[in-house]
Structure 1
Amino acid sequence: MSGDIAMYSDDDKPLNLKAGPSGKNGHVASQGGGGADESSMSEDNEMPLSQVSRIKSEPMTPVRPTKRKKLQSNSSSSDEDTPLASSPAKRTASGAVHMNGAAKATSATVAKVANGKGRAVKKERVVSSDEDDDVPLTKGRSAANGNASGNANGAPKPPKKRVKSEETSQSTLASSDDDKPIGRKAPAKAKRKVKAESDADDESFSDDEKPLKKVPAKKSATKTKQEKSASEAPASKKKTTKAKQEAEAEASPKKGKKKKEEEDEETYRWWEEQAAEGDGSVKWTTLEHNGVYFPPPYEPLPSHVKMKYNGKPVDLPPASEEVAGFYGALLESDHAQDKKFNENFFEDFVKVLKKNPPLDGTKITNFNLCDFRPMYEYFEAEKAKKKAMTAAEKKEAKAAKDALEAPYTQCLLDGRKEKVGNFRVEPPGLFRGRGDHPKKGALKLRVRPEDITINIGEGVPIPKPNVPGKWSKVIHDNTVTWLATWTENVNSNHKYVFLAPGSSIKGQSDMQKFEKARELKSHVDAIRKDYEADLKSKVMADRQRATAMYFIDRLALRAGNEKGEEEADTVGCCSLRCEHVTLEPPNQLVFDFLGKDSIRYYNQVIVDDQVFKNIRIFKANKNDRDALFDRVSTTLLNKHLASYMKGLTAKVFRTYNASYTIQQQLDQGTPRNGTVQQKLNAYNHANRMVAILCNHQRAVPKTHEQSMGKMRERLRGFKYERMKLRHALFAIDPKYKKKSQYKDDESDLDDDGIAEHEEQMKAKEIEKVEKKFQKDNEKLVDEGQKPQDGSVLKAKIKEIEEEFKKLKKERGTGKATLKRDRPTEKIEEAIEKLDEKIKTYKLQMEDREAGKEVALSTSKINYLDPRITAAWCKEYDVPIEKIFSKTLLTKFPWAMEVEEDWKF
């Protein structure tokens, strides 16, 4: 439940929830501070992407920023050029930096049948959701119904069941720059065919977005030949076998219990069942859960830890001290250097102080006189203590925490266990937001049971909160799948507790969403043909709609919705204002606006001449703040799209274009005979094209340069090792100097580099010996024996120093002696392995540098059909664990069994 972004759902409407309070921003001076902070996706950063590989395109070509020219008068003689507003036009020059946009990558003609194999597919009635353009439910927005196409493998049609959209926080979506997936043998090809479903996005991911080290083998519910033959045996034989199993279970109750627990934990393979058809309104029959887990109450700081005001300690009551501590913990972060963050924090802090004034009578009125450093130093000391804990202590603390949370991690849905996703209630704190959010720094109030509505089955025990209080409401609505909901106070967004991403309901929702995007393949040519014709329509509303469709399809812009005065000023395609699009004759448009989550969208593109002409017409005689498309709304646009295909909305184009783009890029750019790393680089390149297309930016991780430095150092170590092996060959037989693979020196490894590397090696060796000596002595003392004398350590250090004196003498001689003698064949083999290792490592470094400003995980989670990745991994023999984290493998179990020839 972490994050600051609302978790919306189109058909899951809370009952009469009231928005919490929100404050106005104050104006005070900012406080300095520096240091590292989390480098989450796109947070507080407006830098352009520096590494962009272009996609082949026709009409949409990214170009370099050019010097602004005066707008040329390009008048049109047709009747259609009548402007829609009478106010005088204004020009605003964008001060934005250039970010190459992703080019059109989806204009190729596609197959007319959605299943990709030319077979007819039955369509199912589902509910479309919009994870990108959701609005607060109090506005009464309803979901549209639509069709999901059948799947490529000809599996039975999925149940006619409406599935809602589930959106939670994206705060943990940013892929860590230092994540290193490790290899694993590619999974066996699945023979079972996958059914088609899904239409919702859930971005509630835990910090388990790290590539897994080891993935346990999945339990398969499919019958083996042996099991099948057993099931076809006579009934009498079956009964005997069953009776025998029951007798064994009774004889060994522990074994029987363990087996039952394992069966309970087995994944529910919903995609293999032919569910009964229903009216699509009921999501569950029975639901039982333990509510949500509230964070523990605030514990006051030690009496000697106090914030200072004008140099004097202030005696704050717990409520005010807690808020001061929120800021103190961020004192050395970038947030504390942000003026708007400081303004919003101090305004809310003053409000808290009015209700809970300092006990010593201090009047706090000036932010610049506040000193939170004593609090910061205390928190840092506590962090250090946690880091210093032994492995056993950390394990014990984690076990205690897990025991407290265990009852909230699962629920009983229709009699089977399902994991709950975001079961933790967000603790109070300071809202950080993303990008240039106007409310960053505002106080997030503590959520209490009285703020929460619980949804649970009738006739089951009502859960008791783990903190004092009573639930606001308890309802029994089986047409929605959320377990709890409340309204947060900063943005008045509705928060929901949903089932985990890997649950059956969420899995069906996901599959339907991607099948909806695949179904669009059979309609997209007709849609494009129509909107291209309407670009010249005499009806201005149709012309505006066609132009908006052009942007949504070619630039993957979100549709956008109207915003209230208290909401962040973010826009999408339909809500663009004149100030957001600048004309650069003859046919270039410059987009500059804040998109979802206040992430800046800046793009320069060359468009069709008619599109450029239309934008000039739409902007004529309007102010900068006027709507560009004043006769188009998201509702009207979606209604028009539904006439082509049931359930089609603007947001389906974003999923379609993202999945179509990566499929095309993978098909064109994957080296069939390349190494695994070369194939991974091809996949990441394709994913970057999607991230650029969808504007999935992130700030360059603060640890990026440090990480790249470590990689360069390690690469130098490989080269040094290779050099020593070569020189050892030369010492054995000088003829090796003439062989082409050995004669050239290692690139960028000069004498200074060698000396520096050897000094680093020496320091590491000595440190290693010292740690081992200390550890051995501790062990001896624990066993009641006498510890080793310091002379033992000195002797070992002397040996190391002698070894490195020897290496120093070898510098520049072109010869070397190894620690142990090895035959030339073994040395040659070692050099060959190092060559391959160096090549692979260079590719990894290039890949990391290219992706430093692009968030690759967002598209994997929300926009790319996971079957594309699963099929590609099987076709090219790449372990899927190299690409999908444990979280994604759990989220998309239905996609893992797709055939290798499956195509989007």
Structure 2
Amino acid sequence: MSAPLASTSTNGHAKRQAKPSLFSDSDSDDDDKPLAKKPKVEEESDLSSDSDSDLPLTAVSSQNGNAVKKESGSDNDDDDDSDAPLTALVNKKSDSDDDNDDDDDEEEDDDDDDDDDDDDNDDDDDDDDDDDKPSSRSIKPNRKPPKTMSITGSGEKKWDTLIHKGPRFADPYQPLPRDVKLKYEGKPVDLPPETEEVAMFYAVKLETQHAQNAIFNRNFFDDFKADLKKYPPRDGTQIKSFDKLDFRDMYKHWKALRDAETERKKNLAPSARKREIEERKLEDNKWKVCLVDGVEQRVGNVNVEPPGLFLGRGAHPKAGKVKRRIFPGDITINHSADHPAPQPPAGMGHWAEVVEKKDVTWLAYWKENINGQYKYVFLDATSNFKTNSDREKFEKARKLDTVVKQIRRDVNKNLKSKVRHERQIATIVWLIDNFSLRAGNEKGEDEAETYGVCSLRCEHAQIKMPDTIHLEFLGKDSMKFEEDLKITNPDVFKNMAMFLKSNGIKDQSGNFIRKKPSDPIFCAPFDSANGKMQPLQPNSVNQFLAKYMKGLSAKVFRTYNASVTFQGLLEQTEEWIKSRPIAAEREINQTNLRLAYNEANRQVAILCNHQKTVNPMLLNRNLERTQDKIFQIRYEILKEQQKILTLHKIGELKKDYKPKEFPFMKQFDKIMQKQDLDPEKVEQYEQQYITDKKTKLESTFKRQQSEFQYQLEQKGLAGEESKKKSKKIKDVEEQVRSSIKGFKDKKQVDEELKALNETAKRLEKERKTNKSQATSCNFASSAKKILSKYEMIKKQEAELVNKNNTSDVALSTSKLNYIDPRITLAWLKEWDNRLADMGQGKGGSKLKVKKEEQEDVKPGKKGAKNAKATKKSAAAKAGIANSTGDSEKMELGLQVMNISQFFANALQKKFKWAASGDDGRDITPSWVFVKDAQSKMRKLDSAERKGGDGGSMAAMTDAADSKEVKPKANGVLKKQTAADQKLSKPIKAVDKAEESDDSLSSDNDDDDKPLAAS
């Protein structure tokens, strides 16, 4: 059964209808009257010094001098193994497999690390290069770059010698077996390999949400039909309708191969699996190491993106189009001229060109066919080039702090300029500065319709009296931006109303020409020959900014505002925690500090409009898993309570355990609080528990036997089944058994299986009698266990809220590209010191030795321990030094806080440089990105509104601005999802207030008299 090609009439991607105009043609507002023409703008030579200046390509052709948009060499957000067809999938090993060699066959827990799953696709660079560089739309896709194309950098020499192996190509396509075919109208179609491969791209997506997307299906079928014209079916079948295609047999074949490979890996002996991984790493290292000036450096992603279907992010209009295979003839290599360049694979032709460009840091580039963007091979994030570039980027943003007041003063002045161009630039800079919007870029007709401030159309904005502008458009990566922006500067509000109305151009009758919904809000100087309004280019904005600081661009403003706002929010950590509505959430501990950190991260991500596509299936699965964990903890509480009630009397416990001597007795009611668990669910849980234990025991035994046989084979003793084995062979076998951790023979496994059957019977009896079968119970120990499990529930619930809050926010994008990592490290050190002073240890536990209590010993009969000895023992046992032992990772010497909860390993390697402060020594808790950050934070209206029913740091900041801190009643964002019915407490939806007005009030101030077209 094929996936349906949904009707395009309801696909949600048609252009929005124009909003009703707020202005009639007879409107005589003075703002439309002409002012002076735009003065000549001098070109700024500083622009070439931007830190990313070594990335773009520049066309020499006189018709197009636009730079080409940079694309990160590691940006493979839609490149996953599910695109790889058939045997290519079996042969291909992703880098992530290296860490996936756990012997346990349990499913990988993909929600353990908050940042890592965000960090699904959130880790690709979001460098906003479209903000700083002109569009590449007029450069036509070529199999080989034209001779007139030159590769330019900043002019500054980056290296003397560069030697590498070039990029690694995707495996060639392996045709399907003869009995597996695409079907059309129920009949097999004999496709040549070229079109069969394209059909396979779709088949592997058959059971995903992509195959239910009308845009995805239509784009795929358009490209598939084009391929069928070049490589038609060999049996003459005419394919005209998508709905009559059936990919099911192809999908089943691919899935069978994938499942077989999964099973093969699962059945491998651990040593064999480890050996495979090591061999793959050795092969990778051949490609991932290069020499820069004779020094070995790691290369980033060396793999040429394999062919497949483009997925895109958000509602991308090109989803489903075919990503073509890249050949050597598409690739330009940058390499030392005095050393032999790498050779392309045999039989694949020659490189497009081999150049020696010492003022750039890329090793190779090529052009992809979907958006006409260039992909690069760069050095790894830990290389000297990258770390220096990162530090320079954030230092440039810090330097902006020295001129930002002057820029803002001039912007406020230019908001009233008599020159329309100046007023437009000032309005754009104000919006970028206050709302961290991207500058944007002009797009070609064949590119995705995405926008930034400069390229916004009139249909994207709506005036809402008295001071609000509603913006709705597709931003970078086709992620939807829809916000009501409260404009605090009346000049900006008035300018926006004016720019939405007219460009200051009069018709032959002398009337101002009204803008159409498709016209740009901010217009470049009017071209009378063209007769069309063109959007203002971001380069004009950057030219204005570069007057104040070398290399300053709109993107630097986003970095500055993101880092300043993040620092300002973190400075309010303690106030935010103390404002929480629940007592447990007001405690200063690692769990609540992480919540505060993620809340600050979330608000900066919202400020920068860093979104990610929500996968409902993954969100629901994570929700179910968390609910299962909470149920398991409550079940464990139930069993402890059952022991207490069976073996103790409540009256005697209250008499023997006085609250003064045993503080936990103050929570006695909580300890004995009834757990309302469904008996059927309890039975299902216990049965599943026994089943899982048996399965794990048997699979472990199977792996151990496999490992045993594998090691014997390595010693040349395979197949020795004789009962009369020599002593030497028996000794070797014993050595092998001893070398396998936890090795169990068949007899031991059978005994454990028998014990599990007994446990099942015991649990069944406990369910029927509601009494524990335990023979003893230490009440104090059980009570403390119960209280600790309530804390575990709180952590799970906090994690659930955190994941729900950030399900559509790409936390790692801002953390990776816009927030100076030193802010995080200084904050970690500050709170690590404070927690250590408070006596907290790793995991939030107190730095003290746990009292070991003997079973069935009544209170008062225990020997009192020497307090000093206990304290000394505690200090000895508190392993609180955070030394990773990995030279590539940060070594902060944290006593309590765990850096991995804030920076994943990849970020620790990338930002290792950040462990040093401005003086080159270890960073200290007092380090700051800028001074007085809280007074320089940008507007957080969006973050506050998206914070649900209150409690966001944004709300606290706004209250502080009004000198009255009034924390709201509840926590962080709780969004309504399909999985919400599974929550014990319903998630409250956020109501969005609507404001509207039909007209602007008139203002006769001379400052806003009409502006002429530039």
TM norm structure 1: 0.70
User: What is the 5 A alignment of 1:318-329?
Assistant: 318-329=193-204
Q: 2:323 touches 2:369 (CA, 8 Å); kept in 1?
A: yes
SS, match of residue 473 in structure 2: strand
| Residue among 547, 553, 569 paired with 2:427 | 547
Q: Deviations over 1:530-587 (max 9, x none)?
A: 2223222232222222211121011111111222222222111111111111111222
Provide closer, same or farther for how the CA distance between residues 449 and 172 of structure 1 changes in structure 2, counting only shifts above 3 A: closer
| Residue among 269, 286, 295 paired with 2:161 | 286
RMSD of equivalent CA atoms: 3.8
Larger displacement relative to structure 2 (283-292 or 865-874): 865-874
SS, match of residue 388 in structure 1: helix
1:180 aligns with 2:180: no
1:566 aligns with 2:525: no
Which residue is equivalent to 1:92?
none
Which residue is equivalent to 2:681?
756
1:635 aligns with 2:539: yes
SS, match of residue 561 in structure 2: helix
SS, match of residue 297 in structure 2: strand
In structure 1, give the amino acid aligned to 2:603: M
1:741 aligns with 2:667: yes
**Cα displacement (A) at 1:744:** 3.5
**Cα displacement (A) at 1:76:** 9.7
In structure 1, give the amino acid aligned to 2:826: A
Q: Deviations over 1:749-808 (max 9, x none)?
A: 3152x5513431232113423553576589789797996699978854541332113321
Provide closer, same or farther for how the CA distance between residues 555 and 776 of structure 1 changes in structure 2, counting only shifts above 3 A: closer
Q: 2:183 touches 2:245 (CA, 8 Å); kept in 1?
A: yes
Q: Percent identity?
A: 40
Q: Deviations over 1:480-525 (max 9, x none)?
A: 1111111112222111111111110011111111111111112222
In structure 2, give the amino acid aligned to 1:361: G
In structure 2, give the amino acid aligned to 1:891: K
Which residue is equivalent to 2:43?
none
User: What is the 5 A alignment of 1:157-556?
Assistant: 168-169=74-75, 171=77, 178-181=110-113, 203=124, 281-389=156-264, 390-392=267-269, 394-468=273-347, 469-556=349-436
Q: 1:780 touches 1:787 (CA, 8 Å); kept in 2?
A: no
Which residue is equivalent to 1:732?
648
Q: 1:580 touches 1:592 (CA, 8 Å); kept in 2?
A: yes
Tell me, in whole angstroms, the C-alpha distance in 2 between the residues paired with 1:369 and 1:501: 47
Provide closer, same or farther for how the CA distance between residues 387 and 819 of structure 1 changes in structure 2, counting only shifts above 3 A: farther
**Cα displacement (A) at 1:394:** 4.5
Q: Deviations over 1:60-110 (max 9, x none)?
A: xxxxxxxx998488999885443799xxxxxxxxxxxxxxxxxxxxxxxxx
In structure 2, give the amino acid aligned to 1:82: K
In structure 2, give the amino acid aligned to 1:359: R
Which residue is equivalent to 2:497?
616
Tell me, in whole angstroms, the C-alpha distance in 1 between the residues paired with 2:703 and 2:913: 51
Q: Deviations over 1:665-698 (max 9, x none)?
A: 1110245961111111011000000111111122
Which residue is equivalent to 1:272?
none
| Residue among 728, 750, 761 paired with 1:802 | 761
Aligned length, in residue pairs = 693
Tell me, in whole angstroms, the C-alpha distance in 2 between the residues paired with 1:177 and 1:513: 35
Tell me, in whole angstroms, the C-alpha distance in 1 between the residues paired with 2:925 and 2:216: 50
**Cα displacement (A) at 1:318:** 1.2
In structure 1, give the amino acid aligned to 2:648: I
| Residue among 925, 933, 939 paired with 1:900 | 925
User: What is the 5 A alignment of 1:882-901?
Assistant: 882-897=901-916, 898-901=923-926
Q: 1:691 touches 1:854 (CA, 8 Å); kept in 2?
A: yes
In structure 2, give the amino acid aligned to 1:627: P
Q: 2:5 touches 2:214 (CA, 8 Å); kept in 1?
A: no
Provide closer, same or farther for how the CA distance between residues 578 and 718 of structure 1 changes in structure 2, counting only shifts above 3 A: same
**Cα displacement (A) at 1:604:** 1.1
**Cα displacement (A) at 1:894:** 0.2
In structure 2, give the amino acid aligned to 1:707: N
Unpaired runs of 5+ residues, structure 2, are: 14-18, 37-45, 81-95, 97-107, 116-121, 127-152, 502-513, 525-535, 579-586, 656-664, 710-719, 724-744, 833-896, 917-922, 930-1014
Tell me, in whole angstroms, the C-alpha distance in 1 between the residues paired with 2:198 and 2:241: 16
**Cα displacement (A) at 1:726:** 3.8
Which residue is equivalent to 2:563?
659
| Residue among 693, 696, 720 paired with 1:768 | 693
Q: Deviations over 1:213-265 (max 9, x none)?
A: xxxxxxxxxxxxxxxxxxxxxxxxxxxxxxxxxxxxxxxxxxxxxxxxxxxxx
Unpaired runs of 5+ residues, structure 1, are: 1-28, 34-43, 47-67, 86-123, 145-163, 184-200, 206-277
Q: 1:696 touches 1:855 (CA, 8 Å); kept in 2?
A: yes
User: What is the 5 A alignment of 1:833-852?
Assistant: 833-852=788-807
Tell me, in whole angstroms, the C-alpha distance in 1 between the residues paired with 2:345 and 2:180: 29
Provide closer, same or farther for how the CA distance between residues 455 and 791 of structure 1 changes in structure 2, counting only shifts above 3 A: closer
In structure 2, give the amino acid aligned to 1:697: Q
Which residue is equivalent to 2:620?
705
**Cα displacement (A) at 1:341:** 1.8
Provide closer, same or farther for how the CA distance between residues 414 and 678 of structure 1 changes in structure 2, counting only shifts above 3 A: same
Tell me, in whole angstroms, the C-alpha distance in 2 between the residues paired with 1:655 and 1:755: 54
**Cα displacement (A) at 1:733:** 4.2
TM norm structure 2: 0.63
Tell me, in whole angstroms, the C-alpha distance in 2 between the residues paired with 1:331 and 1:165: 29
Which residue is equivalent to 2:894?
none
Which residue is equivalent to 2:593?
679
Tell me, in whole angstroms, the C-alpha distance in 2 between the residues paired with 1:325 and 1:421: 29
Q: 2:71 touches 2:373 (CA, 8 Å); kept in 1?
A: no
Tell me, in whole angstroms, the C-alpha distance in 2 between the residues paired with 1:865 and 1:497: 24
Which residue is equivalent to 2:848?
none
**Cα displacement (A) at 1:457:** 0.9
User: What is the 5 A alignment of 1:821-832?
Assistant: 821-832=776-787
Tell me, in whole angstroms, the C-alpha distance in 1 between the residues paired with 2:699 and 2:609: 52
In structure 2, give the amino acid aligned to 1:710: R
Q: 1:641 touches 1:649 (CA, 8 Å); kept in 2?
A: yes
In structure 2, give the amino acid aligned to 1:867: R
| Residue among 862, 865, 879 paired with 2:820 | 865
Tell me, in whole angstroms, the C-alpha distance in 2 between the residues paired with 1:337 and 1:770: 36
Q: 1:552 touches 1:559 (CA, 8 Å); kept in 2?
A: yes
Provide closer, same or farther for how the CA distance between residues 386 and 561 of structure 1 changes in structure 2, counting only shifts above 3 A: same
SS, match of residue 466 in structure 1: coil
Tell me, in whole angstroms, the C-alpha distance in 2 between the residues paired with 1:333 and 1:474: 41
Provide closer, same or farther for how the CA distance between residues 651 and 302 of structure 1 changes in structure 2, counting only shifts above 3 A: same
Q: 1:762 touches 1:800 (CA, 8 Å); kept in 2?
A: no
**Cα displacement (A) at 1:125:** 11
Tell me, in whole angstroms, the C-alpha distance in 2 between the residues paired with 1:637 and 1:819: 75
**Cα displacement (A) at 1:823:** 2.9
Tell me, in whole angstroms, the C-alpha distance in 2 between the residues paired with 1:512 and 1:789: 61
Which residue is equivalent to 1:186?
none
Q: 1:84 touches 1:618 (CA, 8 Å); kept in 2?
A: no
1:128 aligns with 2:21: no
**Cα displacement (A) at 1:745:** 6.7
Q: Which structure carries more relative contact order (alpha carbon 8 Å, separation 6+)?
A: 1
Provide closer, same or farther for how the CA distance between residues 130 and 471 of structure 1 changes in structure 2, counting only shifts above 3 A: closer
